[in-house]
Chain A
Amino acid sequence: MKITDACVYPYPKGDSSVRRMALEAKSLGFDRLVAADTPSAEFYGIEIHTGILIRDTAVRDLTTRIKRERNSEAIISVQAGDNGFNRSVISLKGVHILRGLHSADKNAFDHVVAKMAADNRVAIDLDLFPLISGRGFTRQRIIHRYRDILVLERRYEFPLTISSHARSILDMRAVREIAGLCSLIGMDTPCVEKAFFGVDIITTPPNPAVKVIL
C-alpha cells in the first residue's frame, strides 16, 4: 500500500516538471503520484503512474476511448456529470475514478450511484484544490458536498481517493496537512489512510468469490 496523490498535472499542463514534483512529493511524505498524461516512471523513489482524465465527452465516445485505453496501465478517471451520466460511467468496465463531484449537479451522486461505485470498485475522488484555494461560500459548499459523499461512503464503502490537482509544486501539500484538511470534512485518520491507499484498492483485482482448485 502506497500513499498516493491521485492527480497532479506536471509540465506542460502545470509549471513544474514531473521530476521536480516527485522530489517535492518525497519531502511531503508521498510514495506515488498519478500524473496526468505522463508516462509511468520512477524518480527519486517516487512511483509515477500515468493518469488519463476524460472530460466533456458523451457516453458513447467515452466507451470507445476507454476500450482503447483499457489495456494500458493508466488510471482512467472521468469528470462527473449529471446523475444519469454518472450511473452510465460507473457501470463501464475500465473506469477507475469518478472526479469533480464538488462541481457537479446537486443530485449527481446519490445512493444508487454510491452502491454501483462500491459494486464496480470505482473510486470517488476528493479534490482538495478547491478546499485549499476556495474562500467563504465556495469552500462551505464544497465541505458540505464532501460530507454528504462521506455519509454514503460509510454506508456503501466505495473506494475513495485524495488528489491535490496540483499544477505546481506550490499547490502540493504534505500528508499531515492533507489529513488536517480532511478533518474539515469529518474524515478521521483511518478514513484518510484508506483514501490515500485508494489507488491500490482500485488497481488490485478483487478476490474471487469462488476459487477453482485443480
Chain B
Amino acid sequence: MSIRPPTLREKRRYLLVHIEPAGTIIDQKDLYYTVSDATTSLWGDGIAAVIMSAVVASEGQYMIIRCRRGTEQDLSVALSTITSCCDNRIALRMVAASGTIDTLREKIRKEKKPNPEEISPREYMFDKKLFQIDQCNGQKIDVIEKGFKNTNRLFLTREDLEE
C-alpha cells in the first residue's frame, strides 16, 4: 500500500509510561505482547483493533505506546490492569500523552533523574533481617533480602532504614 498524504492518515496519540519498580529492564517486544494481551482481555478484539496499540520506543524505564486518537482513556485503563511482564512484577505509571513522539522524548529528558545515588553502607538490617540495597532514588530505596532461599524485594524509604 502506498503511503497516504498526511491529511488522509489516521490520527495517532502517544502515551509515555514509566515502568516500576526501578531497575526493571523489559524488552520492547515483550511489553507489546503484554499490552496487547491486557487490551484484548479487557476490551475484547473489537475495541483492541480500534485502539491499535503498539510500543514504539523505549528509553530506559520509559516506554512510548501508540494508539489511535480518542482511545487514550481506554488504553490507559487497560495499562492499569498490567501486573506482570515475563514473570516480572511490574506496574505501568502513565506520565503524559501527546500527539508527537518528540514531545514525549522531551518530557523524558525533563523527568529523567540523575544516575541512581550510591549510598553506603550497601547492607542494612531491617526487621532483624539483612538486606542489600538494590535501587536508591531520593527517598525511595528498594532492598533485596540477603540469602539463598528467601530473596524478597522490599520497597522502603530512607527513614525506614535509619530507624
Contacts and interface: CB of A to CB of B under 8 A. Distances in A.
B127 A12 contact: yes
Contact of A19 (B41, B80, B159): B159
By size class, the interface of chain A is 20 to 34
A17 B89 contact: no
A22 B116 CA distance: 21
A15 interface: yes
Given A169-B20, A170-B20, A180-B76, A17 B157 contact: yes
Contact of B77 (A20, A44, A177): A177
A115 B21 CA distance: 43
Interface in A160-184: 168-174, 176-178, 180-181, 183-184
Contacts of A132: 80-81, 83
Contacts, number: 76
Interface of B: 20-21, 41-42, 73, 76-77, 79-81, 83, 89-91, 93-94, 127, 139-140, 152-157, 159-160
Ranked 3 nearest A-B pairs via Cβ: A180-B77, A177-B80, A16-B155
Which interface residue of A17, A168, A173, A184 has the most chain B CB atoms within 10 A? A17
Contacts of B81: 131-133, 181
B140 A133 contact: no
A15 B77 contact: no
15 contacts: A12-B127, A15-B154, A17-B156, A17-B160, A19-B157, A20-B140, A20-B160, A136-B41, A170-B21, A173-B91, A177-B76, A177-B79, A180-B80, A183-B77, A184-B42
Contact of B154 (A11, A139, A173): A11
A168 B42 CA distance: 23
Contact of B80 (A12, A139, A181): A181
A155 interface: no
A131 B42 CA distance: 10
Interface of A: 11-12, 15-17, 19-20, 23, 44, 131-133, 135-136, 139, 168-174, 176-178, 180-181, 183-184
Given A16-B154, A19-B156, A180 B127 contact: no
A139 B42 CA distance: 9
A116 B83 CA distance: 37
Given A168-B155, A170-B91, A181-B81, 17 more contacts: A15-B154, A16-B154, A16-B156, A17-B157, A19-B160, A20-B155, A20-B160, A133-B81, A139-B41, A168-B89, A169-B20, A169-B155, A171-B91, A174-B93, A174-B94, A176-B76, A177-B76
A40 B89 CA distance: 29
A115 B133 CA distance: 52
A25 to B, nearest CB: 13
B18 to A, nearest CB: 10
A15 B139 contact: no
A123 B81 CA distance: 25
Contacts of B91: 169-173
A20 B156 contact: yes
Which interface residue of A44, A136, A169, A178 has the most chain B CB atoms within 10 A? A169
Contacts of A19: 156-157, 159-160
Contacts of B73: 180
B44 to A, nearest CB: 11
A19 B138 CA distance: 13
Nearest to A15: B154
